[in-house]
């Protein structure tokens, strides 16, 4: 029996199950391939999609083009398409950063500039203690 990992107000949330065909990839540590196999289930993916078009504010998606763990860039592209299809009323950008999983970590100054430009002038990124 496949069960969801999350619920909201006592109701199970839709999710994308891992198919048996991804077992070898999971055991061998190829998480990206596991996620790719999961996302091939378009019915489950559609049912579990977060309704990003209902967000009421600017959106910035930052992804790595060759992320080793999950298809971050492709999923961000799908979200941007969904925003366009629903004529999203707010500013939305997707920044695909060339490289692997850690490459976007070098973009905090650009992210801070996006926040300042689209939210509030006093927004700043601070280190956590």
User: CA nearest 20: which of 37, 44, 3?
Assistant: 37
Average pLDDT over residues 75-92: 96
Q: Residue 2 has what pLDDT?
A: 74
The CA distance from 72 to 36, in Å, is 10
Judgement on whether residues 63 and 80 belong to the same structural domain of the protein: yes
Q: In angstroms, how far apart are the furthest CA atoms of the chain?
A: 50
Residues 65 and 120 in one domain: yes
Whether residues 127 and 101 fall in one domain: yes
Outline where 1-129 has alpha helix (H).
23-28, 31-39, 42-48, 72-85, 108-118
What is the number of structural domains in the chain? 2
Domain that holds residue 128: 52-129
Q: Residue 123 above 50 pLDDT? A: no
From 49, 64, 83, the end of a domain falls on 49
**Helix (H, G, I), strand (E, B), or coil: what is residue 107?**
helix
Note whether 96 and 68 are same-domain residues.
Answer: yes
Query: pLDDT band at 86, cuts 50/70/90?
Result: very high
Which pTM does this prediction carry?
A: 0.80
Between 61 and 121, name the one with better pLDDT: 61
Residue-level pLDDT at 119: 80
* Same domain flag for 22 and 63: no
Count how many residues are written for the chain: 129
Q: Are residues 44 and 56 in the same domain?
A: no
Check pLDDT > 50 for residue 129. no
């Amino acid at each position: 029996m496949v069960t969801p990992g999350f619920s909201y107000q006592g109701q199970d949330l839709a999710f994308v199950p891992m198919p048996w065909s991804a077992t070898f990839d999971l055991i061998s540590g190829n998480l990206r391939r596991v996620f790719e196999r999961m996302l091939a289930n378009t019915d489950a993916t559609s049912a579990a999609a977060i309704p990003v078009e209902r967000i009421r504010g600017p959106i910035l998606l930052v992804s790595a083009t060759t992320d080793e763990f999950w298809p971050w860039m492709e999923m961000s592209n799908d979200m941007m398409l969904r925003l366009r299809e629903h004529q999203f009323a707010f500013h939305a950008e997707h920044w695909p950063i060339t490289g692997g999983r850690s490459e976007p970590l070098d973009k905090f100054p650009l992210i801070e500039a996006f926040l300042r430009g689209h939210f509030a002038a006093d927004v700043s990124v601070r280190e956590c203690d």
